[in-house]
Structure formats: C-alpha cells, structure tokens
C-alpha cells in the first residue's frame, strides 16, 4: 500500500506531499516527488509546447525542468503553505528555466517522468485546445489536472460509499459525452441499463454526484491555496477555464 494511501475519505493533499518531500528522512520522500511530478508535469509540458517547441523538445525540456529544478535545486523546499500557491511557484520557476535554457544539460535517463503514452495523451489534449499563450496553456492544463483529480476522488468516494450506480450514471451521462463531444444518453435508457427504478431516480442520482464533485473540486483548490478569499478566486478561475 502507498505510504500516502490512508483510510481517510479523500487523498493526501499537495501540501502534505510537499512536507514529505522537504523532509529527506521521511519514508515517503521519493513517493512524494513522484506524486507531485505526476500532478504537475502536464501543465508544464503544455506551457512549453505553447512556447513553440515541438513534441520531442518539449518532452526533453519538461523532464529537464523536473530533474534540474524540481529535483536538483529542490524547488519544493521553497514552498510554504502560508505564502501562496504551488502553481505560482512552478510557473515562475519554469519561466526562469526557459529564459536560461542555453545552460540546460541533458536530462538523466532514469529521471524521466514522461512515458510515450503520456506524451500521446498530452498531444491529443493540446490538439483540442485553442492556441493560447504559454502561461494560459499552463493554467488551462492545470485546471484540467484538478478536474481529473476531482473525478477520480468522486468515483472512489462513491464506490467506497456503496453508490457505484450513481457514479456509473454520472460517468455515462456527463463524463463520457464531454470527452467524446457527443450527446448524453436518455435518462430512461440509463435507468434500464443500470438498474434504477426510473429516469427520475437517475436524475436524482446525478444531482447527488454533481454536488459531491463540486465539493471535491473546491477541496482540491483548498489543498494548494490557504487564504479562503484566494480559494474562492482560484475556484472561480478554474471553473471559467473549464467552461
């Protein structure tokens, strides 16, 4: 079992991972780095691609950024929960890294965080995205990462809570149609396929899931922003980017 998997209702926060990373003696030090890199490399890659780099160059630069700056210079040691947002720290560091690119060395092979499948996924995502500046690309991709994390937590909490049918209905009616850009199936059809008593019961289940999802998305925002006023502004920004 992962050191960061607990019996708590939701997953470990980004700040908990940062704290583990800052403590060299923490038993989950390496795992914390892997978890944070997994969360934050997609927006970094998206931003570098929007700077005009091709896929291979962007992959090399993203890996080098994590190897040289995040790991080598221990970027997250500078992170303090009371001082603001992790995304601001990462974006500022990335801008400096790219300005000073000519000093970059080749990324060590064993420190690569990008698989071929992951790169293909990011390229498909970027192909659907509008041509925006690098900073907005970073923000939009990070918003999508947070959305994806909220969906994962929502599914886990519903299934663990005995509401697997609720999640199945939401996945079929909202998630898959959004990904495939198709119309959602009729509620009556879902009721028959998933074993609900009626379309009205499916609609009620969807309301439950949407409420849970919104709460989880707000929770994820709160994990990286301490000030309540900033949390609300951050949440609204994410919603606007995803709309």
pLDDT given for residue 194 in this prediction: 95
Contacts of 68 (CB under 8 A, 6+ apart): 97, 104, 105, 107
Q: How far is the C-alpha of 157 from the C-alpha of 161, rounded, in Å?
A: 6
pLDDT band at 3; cut points 50, 70, 90: very low
Q: Are 205 and 196 in contact (CB under 8 A)?
A: yes
Contacts of 93 (CB under 8 A, 6+ apart): 65, 69, 70, 75
Contacts of 21 (CB under 8 A, 6+ apart): 29, 32, 33, 36, 76, 77
Query: Virtual CA dihedral for 18, 24, 30, 34, nearest 10 degrees?
Result: 30
Q: What is the model's pTM?
A: 0.63
Q: How far is the C-alpha of 169 from the C-alpha of 154, rounded, in Å?
A: 13
Query: What integer best gives the mean pLDDT of the chain?
Result: 80
Among 25-39, 104-118, 137-151, 203-217, name the most confident range: 203-217
Residue in the block written with tokens 């709460």: 215
pLDDT given for residue 207 in this prediction: 96
Using H for helix, E for strand and C for coil, what is the string for the chain? CCCCCCCCCCCCCHHHHHHHHHCCCCCCHHHHHHHHHHHHHHHHHHHHHCCCCCHHHHHHHHHHHHHHHHHHCCHHHHCCHHHCCHHHHHHHHHHHHHHCHHHCCCCCHHHCCCCHHHHHHHHHHHHHCCCCCHHHHHHHHHHHHHHHHHHHHHHHHHHHCCCHHHHHHHHHHHHHHHHHCCCCCCHHHHHHHHCCCCHHHHHHHHHHHHHHHHHHHHHHHHHHCCCHHHHHHHHHHHHHHHC
Percent of the chain past pLDDT 70, that is, above it, reads 77
> Which residue, 176, 133, 149, 136, is CA-closest to 38?
149
pLDDT given for residue 195 in this prediction: 94
pLDDT tens-place string over residues 82-99: 455 777 888 889 988 888
Residue in the block written with tokens 């919104």: 214
Looking at per-residue pLDDT, the higher value among 173 and 111 belongs to 173
pLDDT tens-place string over residues 102-111: 555 544 444 4
pLDDT given for residue 110 in this prediction: 45
pLDDT band at 133; cut points 50, 70, 90: confident
Contacts of 128 (CB under 8 A, 6+ apart): none
Lowest mean pLDDT among 37-46, 193-202, 231-240: 231-240
């Amino acid at each position: 079992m992962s050191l960061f998997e607990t019996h708590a209702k939701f997953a470990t926060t980004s700040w908990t991972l940062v704290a583990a990373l800052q403590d060299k003696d923490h038993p989950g030090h390496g795992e914390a780095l892997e978890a944070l890199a997994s969360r934050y490399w997609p927006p970094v890659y998206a931003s570098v691609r929007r700077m005009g780099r091709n896929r291979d160059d962007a992959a090399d630069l993203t890996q080098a950024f994590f190897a040289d700056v995040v790991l080598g210079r221990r970027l997250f040691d500078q992170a303090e929960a009371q001082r603001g947002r992790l995304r601001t720290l990462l974006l500022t560091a990335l801008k400096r890294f790219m300005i000073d690119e000519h000093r970059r060395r080749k990324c060590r092979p064993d420190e690569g965080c990008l698989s071929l499948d992951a790169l293909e996924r990011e390229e498909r995502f970027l192909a659907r995205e509008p041509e925006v500046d690098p900073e907005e690309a970073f923000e939009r991709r990070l918003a999508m990462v947070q959305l994806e994390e909220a969906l994962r937590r929502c599914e886990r909490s519903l299934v663990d809570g005995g509401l697997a049918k609720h999640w199945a209905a939401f996945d079929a009616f909202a998630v898959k149609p959004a990904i495939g850009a198709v119309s959602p199936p009729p509620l009556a059809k879902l009721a028959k396929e998933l074993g609900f008593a009626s379309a009205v019961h499916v609609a009620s289940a969807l309301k439950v899931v949407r409420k849970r999802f919104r709460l989880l998305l707000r929770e994820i925002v709160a994990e990286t922003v301490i000030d309540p006023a900033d949390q609300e502004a951050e949440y609204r920004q994410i919603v606007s980017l995803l709309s």
